[in-house]
Structure 1
Amino acid sequence: MLPTETKDNTDSLKRALRLPCGVTISNRIAKSAMSEQLADRYGSPTRELEQLYAAWARGGAGLLVTGNVMVDGRALVEPRNAILESDRFLGAYRLWADAAHAYNTTILMQINHPGRVAVLPLTSRPLAPSAVTVKLPGLNLRVPRAMTEADIHDQVRRFATTAALAVKAGFDGVQVHAAHGYLLSQFLSPIANTRTDGWGGSPEKRRRLLLEVVRAVRGAIGPDRALSVKLNAADFQRGGFSQEESLDVALALEHEGIDLLEISGGNYESPAQLGFAAPEQIARDAYFLAYAEELRRRTKLPRMLTGGLRDVRIMSRIVDTNIVDIIGMARPFAVQPDIAKQLLSGEPAAALPRVPAIGYKPIDAYLQLGWHSAQFRRIAAGHTPRSLGGFCRTVVALGPRMAMNIATQSLSGEAR
């Protein structure tokens, strides 16, 4: 446990941070990515997304990382994800970036492909490293298609295309999502990736796709835009992506010249990022602090830690002692859009409201995501976030909307 006494609770958090690429972040509080599900049925950003990000920027965050922007419109994490494959909606993306820049806030676009966890029932046979199912109700009935060499190179190209369009639209850079059990995270996992070719079979080969994506993205955005990667400290599954292997990946990413590593953890089967980790993990003031401490001893790569941080004194001490450079928060921004200003003034974060749960972690994680998405809609409309009620009321509030979004979602190309 870190000591909580500091002489000044906010000075270290108020300092600007200049990334290696030259992009400057005005303070050390970041809104980490959450899936907003606020694009239109074709994947274009909406006025709601602009208003939501304007509220967060106005609320004092130095850095905003968007929720999933999909690199392939045939494979979504959830319906109403934003999709950026061409310049078709570039004007709407410019307005999204402008909403953050109006308040001197840096904004990175998180770019992602879901792989084998693409949303049901829109994708009947998703792409994956290997034909290995996800051990969750519903998803376990769907066997993904192992990617061919051509599929792999196509996705590298798609990540680069989306990244180039992001900076063309005015975003300060991109974050490549390689955590939480999505496609790049699946390639890193010995459980999901059972390949024996050049893309699997050893830690070096399992990380190959991530490194090739990073190289392609850097080539697409140039040296003066920020390139971040979100990486699991571990998957928290027996036989899965381990902390030691993750540390090696982090060092390889430093060698590739990324500007910021965001540390997270978990996946659909073990959602540690939402607080559903082992008791000894969530008992700490930050879920992945031990990994961050170890990484500090090995690298000078700028680091952002997300997960469980709530005490402003501990946040300040973590930055003061150079364990990490940026404090990432996600769920607190869904209930208090100006939480960054509050923390920077030295006031503690309010306790998060209780989200209804049934005791089955994967389902509870979906309830968390849906509950927070409802709060995003309220913030975008200028309303105060509020409780949805108990379990039944929450399901009633979220279920029909999700069903309608799925029924009316348009996919580009043919669904797989």
Structure 2
Amino acid sequence: MMRVAEPLKLANGVELKNRFFKSAMSETMASSMNQPNEKHIRLYHEWAKGGAGVVVTGNVMVDRNALGEPGNVVIEDERDIGMLREWARKGTENGTQLWMQLNHPGKQSPKSMSKKPVAPSAVPLGDKFRGAFNPPRALTVEEIKQLVQKFANTARLARKAGFTGVQIHGAHGYLVNQFLSPHDNQREDEYGGRLENRMKFLVEIYEEMRYAVGADYPIALKLNSSDFSRVGFTEEESIQVVEKMASLGLDLIEISGGNYEQPKMSTGTDSEVFFLDYARKLKEEVDIPVVVTGGFRSPESMESALEKNHTDMIGIARPLALEPHLPKEIMAGSNAEITTQHLTTGVKALDANIGPAVGNVYYAMQLKRIAEGKATQRHTNAWRPLLHLIATHGPHALKPKRR
């Protein structure tokens, strides 16, 4: 048996059927009222049939007043419980684990979505982003407590609907990551200053979630290995956060890195498999299942990473937007193509400025095609996703966005 086909048992007793982990990709398919619909059901049914042990949803927002982009799903109450149950039912076929990723964008909510976004401190994004994002205001302590409860409530609703786990999005410069970063978090109260205080928001979210869903329900965390900035969240701090969360009973950690200003989650690092060096160090320090996502381009590299105990699961995102049944094909022994598309407008100067944002639109378009029962389209033409991005957010939108 291939190592990637072996099951993995979590500390809480939940068994994952194999080591394939479909990492979150933002679908942007919700209704104008940010509700899930039949498209989500069809898309996740395809991924459930595709063989991955764990499938993580695109970020589900916990606050209707704080969106990362148009088409985000928001879950605050039971108004969509029927649709959520069908989404969970189809998405958990074939023994698939379907985990809901929970998120709040903080200041990374574009002007088209937020007139006055919130953040740990009133620290705006860098100068080149000022045209696309309004400056944030600092959250009050009371508002922080309310947001903790929103995360816990959405987790409760996820379990009630039949999702088999949840993931806290603590990476990519969103709100949890902002609290962890000494650059973004300049508070002088119990939530700022030393790392123990900066991680307090995350710890409280986890503890309230755990109270809401119980000890036997998987809670995962997506965390930056680093913000890749000399003034941001560091690798050393990241390891300390994982050690703390593991001591509290966290079930699994997914490693990523960067934010809008340093988009390593979309551009990668110098190694073939993103963040693998960090994962090696992390596994020497903590006894918790680790997922490395990004950069796996062959079954051989997947098997090698598992064999050497550099990771416990193989995280894949964009290749599954092109071939949703890729895990099943690999486990069947086929020489499956594990590729992504490098988009270009044909204009070198323009390509240098459009960044990862256009790529994200391209892959979101492929998700919609899968959801509509259509074949994906593999091409390198950047013009259609570029025009779609400008039409949605305006010309200031040509900045890095989440994967």
TM-score, normalization by structure 2 = 0.92
Aligned twin of 1:71: 62
Give the superposition deviation at 1:366. Answer: 1.4
Whole-angstrom distance in 2 between the partners of 1:324 and 1:141: 36
Deviation at 1:133, TM superposition (A): 0.3
State the match for 1:411 in structure 2: none
**Matched-pair contact (CA < 8 Å) for 1:29–1:326:** yes
Q: Partner letter of residue 301 of structure 1?
A: I
- Identify the residue that residue 81 of structure 2 maps to in structure 1: 90
- 1:398 positional shift: 4.6
TM-aligned CA deviation for residue 139 of structure 1? 5.2
What SS is found at the alignment partner of 2:94?
Answer: coil
User: How much does 1:246 deviate?
Assistant: 0.3
Alignment counterpart, residue 200 of structure 1, candidates 192, 195, 200: 192
CA–CA distance in structure 2, aligned partners of residues 224 and 320 of structure 1 = 28
Distance 2:392 2:351 in 1: 23
Write the distance in 1 (CA, Å) between the matches of 2:131 and 2:223.
23
Shift of 1:353: 2.0
Structure 1: how far apart are the matches of 2:313 and 2:168? 17
Following TM superposition, by how much is the alpha carbon of 1:148 offset from its aligned partner in structure 2, in angstroms?
0.6
Question: Take 2:34 and 2:378, find their aligned partners in 1: how far apart are those partners?
Answer: 28
Separation in 1, partners of 2:358, 2:387:
11
2:254 counterpart residue number: 262
CA contact (8 A) 1:231 1:262 kept: yes
What is the identity, as a one-letter code, of the residue corresponding to 1:165?
L
**Contact 1:371–1:398 at 8 Å: present in 2 too?**
no
Cα offset for 1:399? 4.1
Deviations 1:289-344 (A, max 9, x none): 11100011111111111121222112112112222211111111111111111222
Q: Does 1:187 align with 2:183?
A: no
Corresponding residue to 2:282 among 292, 295, 311: 295
Q: Give the Cα separation in 2 of the matches to 1:51 and 1:318.
A: 32
Distance 1:394 1:171 in 2: 31
Q: Does 1:350 align with 2:350?
A: no
1:223 and 2:215 aligned: yes
Q: Secondary structure of the residue that 2:95 maps to in structure 1? A: coil
Cross-structure match for 2:400: none
Amino acid at match of 2:23: S
**Quick check: 1:307 aligned with 2:294?**
yes
Instruction: Identify the residue that residue 124 of structure 1 maps to in structure 2.
Output: 115
Alpha-carbon distance in 2 for matches of 1:200, 1:95: 41
Displacement, 1:39? 1.2
Show the counterpart of 1:242.
Answer: 234
1:123-168 residue CA offsets vs partner (Å, 9 max, x unmatched): 1111100000011434576220101110110100100000000000
Q: Are the counterparts in 2 of residues 55 and 337 from structure 1 also a CA contact under 8 Å?
A: yes
> What SS class does the counterpart of residue 143 from structure 2 fall into?
helix
Q: CA deviation at 1:19?
A: 1.2
Letter in 2 for 1:150: E
Given the superposition, is the C-alpha separation of residues 333 and 83 from structure 1 closer, same or farther in structure 2, using an over 3 Å criterion?
same
Give the aligned CA root-mean-square deviation in angstroms.
1.8
Deviation of 1:349 (Å) = 3.1
Q: Secondary structure at the match of 2:107?
A: helix
2: CA distance between counterparts of 1:351 and 1:117? 29
Identity of aligned residues (%): 39
Q: Is the 8 A contact 2:29 2:71 kept in 1?
A: yes
CA contact (8 A) 2:20 2:327 kept: yes
Change (3 A) 1:333 1:207: same
Answering whether residue 312 of structure 2 is matched by residue 320 of structure 1, we say no
User: Cα distance, 1:359 vs. partner?
Assistant: 4.4
- Residue 181 of structure 2 aligns with an amino acid whose one-letter code is S
Query: Structure 1 residues 389, 308: CA separation in 2 closer, same or farther (over 3 Å shift)?
Result: closer
Partner of 1:409: none
Matched, 1:378 2:369: yes
Q: Is the 1:388–1:397 Cα contact (8 Å) retained in structure 2?
A: no
Task: Give the AA of the match of 1:350.
Answer: I
Residue 340 (1) aligns with residue 340 (2)? no
Q: Give SS of 1:328's match.
A: strand
Paired letter, 2:232: G
* Letter matched to residue 64 of structure 1: V
Inter-partner Cα distance in structure 1 for 2:317 and 2:22: 6
Runs of 5+ unmatched residues, structure 2: 398-403
3-state SS, counterpart of residue 101 of structure 2: strand
Secondary structure of residue in 2 paired with 1:116: coil
1:56 paired with 2:56, answer no
Structure 1: distance between partners of 2:289 and 2:31: 34
Contact 1:133/1:139 (CA < 8 Å) preserved in 2? no
Q: Deviations over 1:352-384 (max 9, x none)?
A: 2222374447x4221111111100111111111
Q: Is the 8 A contact 1:312 1:349 kept in 2?
A: no
| Partner AA of 1:352 in structure 2 | T
Q: Distance in 2 between matches of 1:66 and 1:244?
A: 29
Retained in 2: the 8 A contact 1:79–1:119? no
Amino acid at match of 1:268: Y
Contact 1:133 1:140 in 2 (8 A): no
Instruction: Check whether the contact 1:356–1:367 (CA below 8 A) recurs between aligned residues.
Output: no
Deviation at 1:391, TM superposition (A): 3.0
